[in-house]
Amino acid sequence: MAHISRNYGRVLIISTYRRGAVIAGTRKRSKHARCQAVDFKVKGNQRAAVRWLQSQPLEVITYSGAMHHIHIAIGSYKGHHRVDGRGRRKKR
């Protein structure tokens, strides 16, 4: 977060640890429930921040529709995908 704030603009944290959080539409435990994920916005150059995050060994999710934040997580999945407001993957 410090790198992003220094290079791309102020970071606004939306969500970190959420006890009992599950992935929308599933019964699977969210990485937020395991302290492995952060949702945030960049008040500056968010696209450049996403490009930098894509070069890191992280799960990166960006959202379309009403939610315009970035989700990053550690764990087994690495890469980037976009999802719509219902959490469904969007085709590139």
Give the separation between CA 9 and CA 48, rounded to whole angstroms.
10
Does 78 have pLDDT greater than 70? no
| Token pair 């410090």 in the structure block, residue | 2
Is the pTM of the predicted complex or chain greater than 0.95? no
In the DSSP assignment, the letter for residue 29 is B
User: What is the pLDDT at residue 82?
Assistant: 63
E runs forming strands in the chain: 9-15, 37-44, 59-63, 70-73, 79-83
| Token pair 């603009």 in the structure block, residue | 9
Interval 3-49: pLDDT, tens? 999 999 999 999 999 999 988 788 889 899 999 999 999 999 999 99
Going by pLDDT thresholds of 50, 70 and 90, the confidence category of residue 89 is low
Residues 42/10, Cβ–Cβ less than 8 Å: yes
pLDDT, greater one: 84 or 47:
47
State the pairing for strand pair 59-63/37-44: unpaired
Does 53 have pLDDT greater than 70? yes
Q: How far is CA 81 from the centre of its chain?
A: 10
| 44 DSSP β-pair partners | 9
